[in-house]
Amino acid sequence: MGLAKTEIFTEEQNQIAIYAKAFSHPARVAILQHLFKINMCICGDLVGVIGLAQPTISQHLKELKLLGLIKGSVEGTSVCYCIHPENWTKMKTVMNQFLDQDLEIDNGCC
* Alpha helix ranges (H) inside the chain: 11-22, 26-38, 47-50, 54-66, 85-99
Residue 1 clears pLDDT 70, i.e. is over it: no
pLDDT, one tens digit per residue, over 60-96 is: 999 999 999 999 888 777 788 999 999 999 999 999 9
pLDDT, one tens digit per residue, over 13-40 is: 999 999 999 999 999 999 999 999 998 8
pTM of the prediction? 0.84
Question: Domains of the chain, with CATH numbers?
Answer: 10-95 (1.10.10.10)
Name the packing angle between helices 85-99 and 11-22 (round to 10°): 110
